[in-house]
Amino acid sequence: MKYMGSKNRIAKHLLPIMLENRNGRTWVEPFVGGSNMIDKVDGKRIGADFNEYVISLFTGIRNGFIPPNEVSEEEYKQARLNREVTPLVSFIGFGCSYSGKWFGGYARGNTNKGIPRNYCLESKKNILKQAEKLKDVKFIHSSYQDLEIPPNSLIYCDPPYEGTTKYKDGFIHTEFWEWCRTKTKEGHQVFISEYNAPSDFKSIYSKEVNSSLTKDTGSKKANEQLFIYNRDKNV
């Protein structure tokens, strides 16, 4: 599903690194978002998110919810005012908005041939393609701190990026990095996607990308990185 900050385009680079030594571990995503990474992984999987609309949508899709082919701008506005936690409102909020940003504006525009695009139908097709790949995922509405994680899991984190406009305020990054340290020490494999990390975290993948998540208007270049906790640095 189109989702702001999605790793869909670079999943093919990140997954071989993370899965190399998985060895049957449960795959856990505390920030599952658009499910664009977890849908490419097999085995036991847990997808959690603090955004209850994300979980409502993917639980609904797994249970047979079929999104509409069209959503008018008036229906979009009504859903934005309503904000009822249902698969339909959740789909409209993400699937019919610019860049998959939660109610970030009714998406409209034309193709290269000047034909009006049906963003709703495009989103419907994309999420239904994911449906079969997500049928065995355990979706949980939870913060990362409160999530119950099976022992010896593989945890992939795609948190709100520091210094960006990706999410609402309120995410405390220092607490998140300390949580990653703790989970690593508990025996989990922990991988984090971010542009930057504290000095005791090691970058194991880096790729320059066009980012639209920065506070500046428009897009700019940024280094998308994958980090692990470098325990040896603190020995």
Secondary structure letter of residue 97 according to DSSP: B
Q: How confident is the model at residue 153 (pLDDT cuts 50, 70, 90)?
A: very high
| Widest Cα–Cα separation across the chain | 61
Q: How confident is the model at residue 100 (pLDDT cuts 50, 70, 90)?
A: confident
Nearest of 56, 75, 34, 57 to residue 166 by alpha carbon: 34
* Rounded Cα–Cα distance for residues 195 and 74 (Å): 38
Taking residues 69-80, report their average pLDDT: 96
* Rounded Cα–Cα distance for residues 60 and 53 (Å): 10
Residue 9 amino acid letter: R
pLDDT at 233: 67
Q: How many CB atoms are closer than 10 A to CB 22? A: 16
Architecture of the CATH domain 11-234: 3-Layer(aba) Sandwich (3.40)
pLDDT at 90: 96
Model confidence at 5: pLDDT above 90: no
* Rounded Cα–Cα distance for residues 233 and 199 (Å): 9
Residue 128 amino acid letter: L
Model confidence at 216: pLDDT above 50: no
pLDDT at 217: 45
Half-sphere exposure of 226 (CA within 13 A, CB side): 17
Please write the tens of the pLDDT for every residue from 154-208: 999 999 988 765 545 578 999 999 999 999 999 999 999 999 999 999 999 999 8
Taking residues 211-230, report their average pLDDT: 72
